Amino acid sequence: MNQQESNNYALDNLLPELALIKDLSIRNFTTTVILHAPGTFWYRPSAYFKGHHPEDELKEWGNLIHTKRGIVIASIFVSMEDLDSSSSDVLYSGLLLHDIGKYGKDGSEERIQKEHPAIAMNLILANLVHEATQAEEAIASIVLKHMGRWGVSKPVTQLEKIASYCDCIGSRVNINIPIKLK
């Protein structure tokens, strides 16, 4: 499997999650970043140690499953917090992209990189062809701060905190996440 195949396969599987993003410019931006994820990011495990993530995330396509699981949790928060569409769009986009730097900026690292939030944020910003909008800056900030108290940059805003909770909860619960395997 190569990078393009991995990214295209991920995009096919993430279409329902992308459809949650109402703002077309944010959805298109998120799609572009998904298609430029480094290496075979989506195909690789989301974690290596049982106890940090459900078992299905420790295998092939683990990052794809983890990302989809985070969106399931986010949709619950969106309803509970009665977030408006601009806030929910930023949250969904940030969660769809939060881990793309896990295996380094070119995706070739063997181990998950501790500084992956900063790598992911830089990869996201590198996909901009214009000055970052307020929404794109908020997405990058969610990505940078998604690890919550375990990260270098701590979440401050409501959306950053919710994204951190979604990532943490999604890493701990075993919600059945179907993906279309080839």
Is residue 181 one of the residues assigned to a domain?
Answer: no
Is residue 176 one of the residues assigned to a domain?
Answer: no
CA distance 144 to 118: 5
Give the predicted TM-score (pTM) of the model.
0.95
Work out the average pLDDT over 144-167: 92
Is residue 178 one of the residues assigned to a domain?
Answer: no
What's the domain range around 157?
Answer: 3-170
Is residue 175 one of the residues assigned to a domain?
Answer: no
Is residue 66 one of the residues assigned to a domain?
Answer: yes
Identify whether the C-beta of residue 129 lies closer than 8 Å to the C-beta of residue 32: no
Is residue 27 one of the residues assigned to a domain?
Answer: yes
Three-state DSSP class for residue 47: coil
Residue 182 has pLDDT above 70, yes or no: no
CA distance 95 to 99: 8
Is residue 136 one of the residues assigned to a domain?
Answer: yes
Identify whether the C-beta of residue 63 lies closer than 8 Å to the C-beta of residue 99: yes
Q: In the predicted model, what is the mean pLDDT of the chain? A: 93
pLDDT of 89: 98
CA distance 11 to 168: 23
- Give the tokens for residue 26: 């944010």
Give 105-152 pLDDT, tens digit per residue: 999 999 999 999 999 999 999 888 788 899 999 999 999 999 988 878
Q: Structurally, how many domains does the chain consist of?
A: 1
Work out the average pLDDT over 151-156: 88
Is residue 141 one of the residues assigned to a domain?
Answer: yes
What's the length of the chain? Answer: 182
